[in-house]
Structure 1
Amino acid sequence: MSIGVENRGALDPYAAARAEQPLLGRANPLAKFGALAIITVALVWSIDWLSAGIAVLCELLTLPLAGLNLRLLWSRAWPLVAAAVLGGWSTAVLAPDKGPILFSFGIWTMGEHSLLLGLGFLLRGLAIALPAVIVMACTEPTDLADALAQLARLPHRFVLGTLAALRLVGLMVEEWQTIGMARRARGVGTSGNLLSGIAAKLGQSFGLLVQSIRRASRLAVTMEARGFGAGPRTWARPSRLSAVDLWVVLGALVIAGLSVGLSVLFGAWHVVY
């Protein structure tokens, strides 16, 4: 983030801490988002299961480079996994049946073609979502803001708004738990009835929305009063590209190339149209 003092980039106090981070943690955020874009562009053109499966496997192999393991990944990505499974199942059930019928239950039938299509949809969702989860898990919001302002030359107000939003995500999780405990202490949503439970969650969501608006308003006034975004700034944490960033981008190109190349080689490539 920017400060109104002389630039001390040559004496970066964060260099030692950054050197202890895993490989992806040391990479510049712009390089990581560039790698994310490469993988996404390579995968959105098809719906076959092979290219998506290869991409998911390669992405799981990069977990140690981000300081993650399967347990931590699951704790962060389970909603995305659930959405991908639901989308894959819906696609498999509703897609036109071609080939042998593998499953039949009333009006629902599933053929070999629809099963592969659903599997491809499921894996495609995971292959596109997992890199984003991995990147955000090993990216410090302040480093991202520095990269957007110094390298991408984005407006200060946009950068500071992005930084504030990322910082508030964790607070919103804590706020949700606090509101939930406060409502249970008052006996709201404890009856066990499904409709009352849904109504309680909607009320809790509204309370979180109100708290978020209030917190954002206070933060905006505070940042404006302290002069953020006003006039030229100097930088406490210089954002630079390094050899690590080149390896990150090359790794994304390898994942994209393997996914598409092997799928085409084995005749599984299926273009979305």
Structure 2
Amino acid sequence: MSALVQARGTAAIHTVNPVAKLATALLIAFTLVLSIDWVSASVALALELPLLAFAGVRARTLLLRTSPIWIAAPFAGLTILLYGKASGASHLEWMFVHVTDGSIELAVATVLRLLAIALPGVVLFITVDPTDLADGLAQIVKLPARFVLGALAGLRLVGLFLDDWKSLELARRARGLADSGRIRRLFGQAFALLVLSIRRGSKLATAMEARGFGGPTERSWARESHFGRNEWALLLIGVVIAATAVTTSVETGEWNFIAAP
């Protein structure tokens, strides 16, 4: 079974329709993207962190899945700190590096905003099963079934890429092709993986067409996708987080709309 398929947990978030999780993550992200300020991002992050404890995800899994965010956010902030737009009092100036009050504030806002946008999205999608998401997109959002099922089939094959890569690596090592030229071997192995993926995709497409996945008639679904009380509750939580962050930022005078000059 693909690693993309998550085990169903006992927490309530595991039973929520993936469409609601996607909508909530997009709502929070869209709201925080509208302004570059540290207040809205910090308020949203402060409201999100306690909720992550009730997401039904083990601490080790949560740490591993969010580790790229914790690593990337400080580096993004450091870049803004050293090379961001200069304003206010100057603290350090050397060649292209110019640290000012404005760059410090912008760096802090960048780090907080990245964490506030990325963390809930990652945590929500840890609990998403690809099949449930496809069912919701087709039945609730009314996306074309051909597009949804094709994307689902492709997503299911992503987990096989690692297995194929390991098999190719072992096969080349057994033939004595992995002793030298690591860079050249990388490109050759990547091309072999591409060829293998195209062949598998062609076979899968033929099999799906033969089973009527591309037919013009309205298709039926093995599992009905529901959007009920739990889904609306999750959306309401997202609205409360976004509204509280925006209101606090506006009231404190820190709201900095990205379209403003």
When normalised by structure 2's length, the TM-score is 0.82
Kept after mapping to 2: 8 A contact 1:47/1:121: yes
Aligned match of 1:222? 207
Within a 5 Å distance, the mapping from 1:1-273 to structure 2 comes to 21-182=10-171, 199-230=184-215, 231-273=217-259
Kept after mapping to 1: 8 A contact 2:83/2:96: no
CA shift at 1:179, angstroms?
4.0
Seen in structure 2, the aligned counterparts of structure 1 residues 221 and 44 have a Cα distance that, compared at 3 Å, is same
CA shift at 1:101, angstroms?
3.0
Residues matched between the structures, number:
252
Deviation digits for residues 73-128 of structure 1, max 9, x if unmatched? 33223334444333322222211222233444544121121021122122222322
Aligned match of 1:7? none
When normalised by structure 1's length, the TM-score is 0.79
In 2, the alpha carbon distance for the partners of 1:261 and 1:113 equals 23
User: What residue identity is the alignment partner of 2:207?
Assistant: T
Aligned CA-pair RMSD: 2.7
Deviation digits for residues 8-48 of structure 1, max 9, x if unmatched? xxxxxxxxx97x63222111122112212211221111111
Seen in structure 2, the aligned counterparts of structure 1 residues 264 and 154 have a Cα distance that, compared at 3 Å, is same
SS at match of 1:66: coil
In 1, the alpha carbon distance for the partners of 2:66 and 2:172 equals 27
In 2, the alpha carbon distance for the partners of 1:178 and 1:201 equals 14
Kept after mapping to 1: 8 A contact 2:21/2:125: no
Deviation digits for residues 216-244 of structure 1, max 9, x if unmatched? 22221221122224233332211111210
In 1, the alpha carbon distance for the partners of 2:177 and 2:51 equals 44
SS at match of 1:235: coil
CA shift at 1:157, angstroms?
0.8
CA shift at 1:174, angstroms?
3.5
Deviation digits for residues 41-83 of structure 1, max 9, x if unmatched? 2111111122112223333323244322453233223334444
In 1, the alpha carbon distance for the partners of 2:43 and 2:208 equals 45
In 1, the alpha carbon distance for the partners of 2:82 and 2:178 equals 35
In 2, the alpha carbon distance for the partners of 1:93 and 1:245 equals 43
CA shift at 1:155, angstroms?
1.6
Aligned match of 1:8? none
Seen in structure 2, the aligned counterparts of structure 1 residues 198 and 59 have a Cα distance that, compared at 3 Å, is farther
SS at match of 1:110: strand
Unmatched segments (≥5 aa) in structure 1: 1-16
Aligned match of 1:13? none
Kept after mapping to 2: 8 A contact 1:28/1:245: yes
